[in-house]
Chain A
């Protein structure tokens, strides 16, 4: 029920309009500050607090290193680094861990030298790994309280309307990242948001990914990222015959799954085979005159092409995987930017992942119980990211995991995953180059596959083929020190990663 309202008498003296005050107000609302140091001081950041970043520049990101160097010079200690993900380019964090600037990390994944150093026990406190949806939920529920979000963006106006591209100023698109999906959740909940941008554009910077109401300070910097790095990381186009074979098999599974109907929705995870599935679905879509209602998630060039050919109606983009996707978001009104929360938060029953029919996901390892590892390699060292893996597997009606049976001499179908990331309960089909396995709990899918003459194998059978060729790998030697806590999307602890023994 509404509160009973009482009214004060109107007084024209209280209005500020069409006068000097209004002009001043415009200038006062300019959030651009002289330097990053000044912005940091203005936020009141203190030792022990939490800072956050996004990873939309993937391996081309320069913001994390720039900000941490600055914080280091300013003498900060004991900061909690919550980034939506960290990549090979973030190697300099190693020195900030050693100096005591960063004492704990919260991320979707780790790669390269930083991941290697952490696996070898460089940190006292374990890294917390979260899925993109899990991170959004942790921020929304106050499990992660962001004191200062440092968000690098390709365009921003003086009031703080920020975006991953600019429709007005082509110069801003020299460095373009497309969707600001992960940054949107940070800006919404952070106590202070500092935007770092190399292109300040005139107000209003529309469309914007982050609205001015969520921005406190703006710093103009020379360099936020390297656009060529956006394309690297996990996204790539494949001509590898083995990956193409897996992609083709996965497409066959999807076409014959019962979920391939006119108006279906789909997400392709990063990884060569996963992204290649689109090209094998295309002929069947054309032949049957099917259109997908939407494609979700990390959006790649191949998905954009299907959209441009009229085969996918709408694109929901939490992260642009490549420059073609970023430019499509800029130019195309059916290509919509969404936040991590809208995408996958488990606190949000209406999250887009829950509207998803089909998802194709990669894996480092799958075990005979359909459990998936996307975080640690066969040597026990961290080399991946959870991303939206757990979220889409849980949300989609059909979760297909594509994985080669062997990578070199390493079996990828194993008896028990090295690190449990996505529980087998949420995985429906595993497609390998040697055969297809359907989760025995999915009786309907098994039946429909059999009716369509698709040969199904047992994962144990596939595991046996693998170890017949490679032998059973020696167990990895760990110490008893925990270097990573892997959370499920609901915030519970699903597995631990231990320090590798050399």
Chain B
């Protein structure tokens, strides 16, 4: 899959203004509070660890190898967003209840908010930035666009990574099965019908894509 990556594996392209960069430079940066679903309402954003013991962690992220020295408390989600600026992976509930933080770990979908980066040492991660490129979308990305599998888009990176996992695990055989095996991803806009259609349509192409990469 490395051939599909830009040089640093971060999915960034020269000269583009990112939403994150824009926020950082504006008054909005201090109020980017994220909604919290269910548990842990007192937490507004990921804790950024500043003290405590450190661990050395090596990961392959979107095809590129990286080594880090991290506070042991760092979750994969913290690492991707705060250290790698891979902000396509979203913070939703931060407690494994909403699926917004879904990534692929050695090809298997997981909640990155509940996994310590240290526990993933030596493994390979795929985020939405590494799945496809703007000029060569992964078939699941294209299918989400085709079927309006989103409105606001916040849950979409997690939905798409989860959908790829759903297919490769062999649980996209019917629409009821897709609904059951996509239940770990909540969409507050209620785009479930389009999501289900997208997964069903992109199933075969996703398998072909996985075999080709």
Q: Do A and B bind each other?
A: no
Q: Which residues of A contact B (CB under 8 A)?
A: none
